[in-house]
Structure 1
Amino acid sequence: MAASALGCTPADLAAVEEIVRKAGTSFARGMRVLPPDRRYAMYAIYAFCRLVDDVADEESPLADRLPRLDQWRDRIAGLYAGRTQDALDRVLHAAINRYALRQADFDAVIDGMQTDAETVVVAPGPAEYDLYCDRVASAVGRLSVRAFGDGSADADRVAHHLGRALQTTNILRDLGEDAERGRLYLPADVLDAHGVPHEPDAALRSPGLRPACRDMADRAEAHFREARAAMRRCDRRAMRPARLMAASYAAILDTLRKADWREPRIRVSVPLWRKLRIAARAAIPL
């Protein structure tokens, strides 16, 4: 641990890192390419997203969860007014000040989590789908690119397109898991174009599901291309984590393409050897 990262205490940094570690993802390893100040800023952003998502995903009644999401809105507003209450607040506050993170992006993340908390999303309209992707993915990207080291308009374009590419890939990978929860995130216009019913279980059995998923994969790949084009106009070093995420998720999408959604309830995974090759190549400029 870098004791001076963001000017925070070792105890506060350790507390935030522990939230990330307990999440049990590969996120922490991916952020090791960053210098300490930026790495702990990203840990704090991830911890915020994780904790808000935990509220949205709880089995407790909606009436209990919505006030807690409102508390997160108040908590974020407090950070911009200089009020902190715990280690995460203090590290987030330092990151906000150091990297000019925007309150609207934090609020958008909370709004996206609230959508999942209060709505069983089934076949959203095109505008609803795009807004959902913006809130749960691209808003996180807009926070991240600043922590990575680039706050330019082109970096925001990376966040816009990469967020949509990643979220669409997640949706295409998690069809079975989402259906078990009564959810179907594929947009209505794509389902209708292929005669896929809007009921989740029926959709997974429909012969039109596979071509619908191929269409969505095409959309994701278009967003990946736009994100990579925007990355070339950004600070090369700052975009290293974005390149890693793009390459990792493009590999997932490629694996999904090869499986062709023949068994949509089975969640595909990328082989370890391919993950290691992607990590090695992420340092190579595009």
Structure 2
Amino acid sequence: MTEDRLPGSALLPLAYRECRQIAAAHGRTYFLATRLLSAERRPAVHALYAFARMVDDVVDRAGRSAAAHDRDPAAELDQIERDLRAALESRLGSARTAPHASSADRQNDRSWESGPRPRALVLAAVTHTIHRYDIAAQHFWTFLDSMRMDAPGAPAFRNRYATMAQLREYMRGSAAAIGLQLLPVLGTVVPVSAAEPAAAALGEAFQLTNFLRDVAEDLDRDRVYLPADALAAFGVDDALLFECRRTGRTDPRVRRALAHLIAVNRDLYRRAEPGIDLLEPRVRPAIRTAATLYADILHHIERSDYAVFDHRAVVPRHHRLRIAATEFTTATLRGRLTR
């Protein structure tokens, strides 16, 4: 019996374990914050992260090297969507039924992570998570639509954004949708719809922080995820960005543009922060930790004098652990004081 046809009771632990390993390897900040969640919620968060990572890697590989990507990324995203739709429709994520790998998965099961049938395992875990927590499937189709904007050859492909409005259209699917996927897993003390605006804002805040941190890496793939009109207001264009990347030095005009966009980013965090109190009390420390650690990336960019072209801003591990410990201690004391 092949691994992608194991009985559901055997496959789901394997599938969730695969997702946990992906989250631990690639999402250090999220993984640390997830440690503050209850053991019951962690696997679902790992599954959602692993699915997003799997899709993101499809377009990242295409952006890094067309020669290294032996499949059309747009077609690959379409296949992932078909596989997920089929799994949801047949309830393959239930503990009673095991998902089968698609023909595309069998051909590409080592294309983004090592190990047996990783795509089938991630799809099994995320499908089970969607059913278990009654997550609206539309959030996944919105996410995939934004990812097609990253896929060379797709009709929606775009590697430049003229305005913040255009960039927010992309982030609505690439980041806000992920926040909305998480809400039913985390739980809320208000109707889910009341918590959605803040969750979407926090997703956008995380995404914009990534863009500011990864300017150099994105330029290497001929992508600019910063709005052209905001850059132009400070005298910055593509030529100047590429020159900064070539020399590894941040031009004063770019420094001022980045300072402006960091202020915009912090406003998103401020708008999202009240939404954390709309979540179930037990999950608030984890989300506060993730928000604090991600916002700290902005501080590290500033402290480096905006040197985003010669190194990647990273929050030191000891600082991440200290923030997580502080949030856990604070939450524990609050719980004792409110009993």
| TM-score, normalising length: structure 1 | 0.87
Instruction: Give the structure 2 partner of residue 157 of structure 1.
Output: 197
1:177 has 2:217 as partner: yes
Distance 1:56 1:181 in 2: 11
Deviation, structure 1 residue 203 = 6.2
Distance 2:18 2:195 in 1: 29
Counterpart of 1:237 in 2: which secondary structure?
Answer: helix
Q: How many residues align?
A: 279
Instruction: Give the structure 1 partner of residue 5 of structure 2.
Output: none
Which 5+ residue runs of structure 2 have no aligned equivalent?
Answer: 1-7, 93-98, 101-120, 335-339
User: Letter of the aligned partner of 1:259 in structure 2?
Assistant: S
User: Letter of the aligned partner of 1:12 in structure 2?
Assistant: L
Greater radius of gyration (CA): 2
Contact 1:69 1:110 (8 Å CA) reproduced? yes
Distance 2:169 2:70 in 1: 22
Q: How does 1:14-163 map to 2 (within 5 A)?
A: 14-22=14-22, 24-25=25-26, 26=28, 27-58=30-61, 59-60=65-66, 64-84=72-92, 85-86=99-100, 87-118=121-152, 119=157, 121-150=159-188, 152-163=192-203
User: Letter of the aligned partner of 2:172 in structure 1?
Assistant: D
Match of 1:196 among 229, 236, 240: 236
Between 1:185-194 and 1:141-150, the stretch displaced more is 141-150
User: Letter of the aligned partner of 2:160 in structure 1?
Assistant: V
Contact 1:197 1:206 (8 Å CA) reproduced? no
CA distance 1:121–1:163, shift in 2 (3 Å): same
State the Cα RMSD in Å. Answer: 2.4
User: Letter of the aligned partner of 2:141 in structure 1?
Assistant: D
Deviation, structure 1 residue 22 = 4.3
Distance 2:145 2:310 in 1: 28
Indicate the structure whose relative CO is greater, using CA pairs within 8 Å and at least 6 residues apart.
2
Q: How does 1:223-238 map to 2 (within 5 A)?
A: 223-238=268-283
Contact 1:175 1:184 (8 Å CA) reproduced? yes
Deviation, structure 1 residue 108 = 1.8
CA distance 1:63–1:216, shift in 2 (3 Å): same
| TM-score, normalising length: structure 2 | 0.74
Contact 2:176 2:201 (8 Å CA) reproduced? yes
CA distance 1:22–1:164, shift in 2 (3 Å): closer
User: Letter of the aligned partner of 2:12 in structure 1?
Assistant: D
CA distance 1:79–1:259, shift in 2 (3 Å): same
